[in-house]
Amino acid sequence: MTDARTVTDARTVTDARTVTDARTVTDARTATDTLTVHRAGLAAVQDLGRFGHSRYGLPVNGALDQHSARVANVLAGNDEGAPLVEITALDFGCTPSTDILIAVTGAPADVTVGGVPRPMWEPLPVRAGETIAVSGIRLGLRVYLAVLGSVDTPSLLGSCAPDTILGFGRSLRDGDELALRTSCPPVAHPVFGIPLFRVHAPVAHCAESWTVDVTDGPDLAEFGDTAERLFRSPFTVTPRSNHIGLRMSGDVPRRVATGEVLSRGVPVGAVEVPAGDELLVLHRGRGVTAGYPVLAVVTATGLSALGQARPGQSVRFRHRTVEEAVADYRSQRHAVRALATRVRTVFDELRIPVPSATPSVPSPV
């Protein structure tokens, strides 16, 4: 357990009113350039999470689709772990007070800038006063909007990710003004009027059904032959799912061991089998201990897919060895790093200023 003073002191890095009312927004009076939210929906400012504090009982939290969040930041010229807007399910709209450059990734959606349709998974210039609108999110559940230079938002224990245990952070509201760390001079093609960025981002696949990779869990042997049910037929995501975990109905494996399961530490991605007819797949907001048997563990790449799974969609699990899971993750990370190189090359040629690099965020999950 953590020393109580650790959490108490960490929470007093900002005054009480800031922690309560403006954890993810900055008072417009303290910033020159802002991004004004006029349709908040279920959006929040996120980053990749709060690492290194599980021993204190704190979940990692952060963007549920880590891959899409990383790519959005890279496309916008930022460090992978910079704060960005996570838009969940509902429509979102905002307007900058200065010229900026953005990138939108994640689930397929309709993106417009100043009423003109714009592509996802590419850098997009936005003029001051133009409205950025994200609507019609489909197949997946979450869209990520990154701004060149990122947004200036309070952080706690190294992250701006909202955390209900710490009482830190909140969803955005209509009228919130996010302070921008930098502006971007206008970028325009000399003939077509808009820049033509072709940086070939590694686009995440979204579909009506999902295939999610898992490795063996520590309690696999306790399920005997019924463990094969995990791979035999699909499971359905239920409406009782959130950032803490996804509940799934289907042909649930049954534990054949009769001994008591003691509470112990559980990883993000643990596939738990509680008593009943559902699986519980823990995600980034999970508590760090639990007392259910863990049949399998979702891989790092699989967790991003689960971050997009909508209630009612089907999920099939696919078995992977630890070595295969590590290779898959390294391949995905290599693709993002290669994208960062291409983006920096393009930005240098166009003389688009980019922020100074910040220390890399740990990325095991």
What are 12-68's pLDDT values in tens digits? 333 333 333 333 343 333 447 999 999 999 999 999 999 998 888 899 999 999 999
315: buried, middle or exposed (CB in 10 Å: 19+, 13-18, 0-12)? Answer: buried
Task: Answer whether CATH 3.40.50.10610 is correct for domain 209-320.
Answer: no
Q: Dihedral (C-alpha) 73, 270, 107, 230: value to the nearest 10 degrees? A: 150
Beta partners for 113? 116, 132
Beta partners for 123? 103
Specify the domain boundaries for CATH 2.40.100.10 within the chain: 209-320
Cα–Cα distances (Å) from 293 to 48, 204, 213, 271, 297, in that order, read 28, 31, 19, 8, 11
**The pair of three-digit structure tokens given for residue 64, joined into one six-digit string:** 């549920």
Place of tokens 């699986």: 279
Per-residue pLDDT tens over the stretch 304-359: 999 999 999 999 999 999 999 999 999 999 999 999 999 999 998 888 888 765 54
Per-residue pLDDT tens over the stretch 270-319: 999 998 889 999 999 999 998 899 999 999 999 999 999 999 999 999 99
Residue 21: predicted pLDDT = 38
Per-residue pLDDT tens over the stretch 228-253: 999 999 999 999 999 999 999 999 99
Coil, strand or helix at 207? coil
Residue 189: predicted pLDDT = 66
Residue 43: predicted pLDDT = 97
